[in-house]
Amino acid sequence: MGFLSQFQTCFWTIILFLFMVLNCHVNEAALVLPKNVTVTAVFVFGDSIVDPGNNNNLPTIAKGNFLPYGRDFKDGPTGRFSNAEEFGVKESVPAYLDPKTQLQDLLTGVSFASGAAGYDPLTAKTA
């Protein structure tokens, strides 16, 4: 590799690095809510990380309705793969397929997430 070729590679690497560094501040939300405005509904799509029990009503072996799932949830193992404490909107976001889901739940948010729906093999390592 000649000097000119090495110089071009180094030059473009530095330009790309600077471009990435200078554009890091652009990571802002697409929607900025005014102060004192609350989110009225949460609709969740995902895999087992956010599945609140939809898989209980699906023909699948991926279920979370046994221990250790639900060990710190007030109702015990309900099919939730997680306890949903981090959402902070409702006590828990109900499963769309739960027969106990009411119309009011649909207006304030439900979860369509389903365990084993993900395709990324790293999900199990990060959860």
Catalytic-residue membership of 48: yes
Residues 117 and 119: their CA atoms lie apart, in Å, by 7
Q: Tell me the DSSP string of 62-106.
A: ----STTTTTTSTT--SS-SS--TTS-SSSSPPBTT-TT--HHHH
pTM beyond 0.75, yes or no: no
pLDDT tens for each residue of the chain, 127 residues long: 566 677 788 888 888 877 776 666 555 556 666 777 777 777 888 777 777 788 888 888 888 888 887 777 777 787 777 665 555 556 677 888 888 888 888 888 888 887 877 776 666 666 5
Q: Active site residue: 5, 48, 92, 114, which one?
A: 48
Answer yes or no: is 111 within a domain: yes
The number of folded domains in the chain is 1
Question: Does residue 56 form part of some domain?
Answer: yes
Q: Are the C-beta atoms of 42 and 107 separated by less than 8 Å?
A: no
Q: Does a structural domain hold residue 104?
A: yes
Its domain, for residue 94, covers 32-127
